[in-house]
Amino acid sequence: MSRMFRIAIDGPGASGKSTTAKLLAKKLGFGYIDSGAMFRAVTLKCQQSGIDPSNIANKDKVTEIAQNAKIQFPTLGQVELDGQNVSNLIRNSNITRNISQVASNPDVRNILAKQQRAMANGELPGAQSTGFIKHDKIIKGVVMDGRDIGTVILPNAELKVFIVADVRIRAQRRFDELKRRQGANLKETLDEVERDLEERDLADRTRSIAPLKKADDAVVLDTSHLSIEEQITAIEEMVYQRV
Each residue of 15-49: pLDDT tens digit? 989 889 999 999 999 989 988 899 999 999 999 99
More confident residue, 200 or 3: 200
pLDDT score at 123: 78
Beta bridge partners of 31: 142
- pLDDT average, residue stretch 203-228: 92
Determine the pLDDT at residue 122.
77
Residue ranges of domains in the chain? 5-242
Is the Cβ–Cβ distance between 79 and 34 less than 8 Å? yes
The model's pLDDT over 120-145, given as tens digits with 9 standing for 90+, comes to: 887 776 667 889 999 899 999 999 99
Model confidence, pTM: 0.84
- Once rounded to an integer, what is the mean pLDDT over residues 191-206? 93
Highest mean pLDDT: which range of 99-103, 114-118, 160-164: 160-164
pLDDT at 179 over 50: yes
From CA 132, how far away is CA 66, in angstroms rounded? 34
State mean pLDDT over 93-122: 89
Looking at the DSSP assignment, which residues form a beta bridge with residue 143?
Answer: 7, 32
Query: Which residues, in sequence order, are bridge partners of residue 26?
Result: none
Classified by CATH at the fold level, domain 5-242 comes out as Rossmann fold (3.40.50)
Q: For the purposes of burial, counting CB atoms within 10 Å of the CB of 59, is it exposed (0-12), middle (13-18) or buried (19 or more)?
A: middle
Give dist(CA 156, CA 183) in Å, integer. 42
Q: Phi and psi dihedrals of 133, rounded to 5?
A: -100, 130
pLDDT value for 1: 45
- Name the more confident of 106 and 74: 106
Report the pLDDT value the prediction gives residue 48, as an integer from 0 to 100. Answer: 96
How large is the C-alpha radius of gyration of the chain?
A: 17
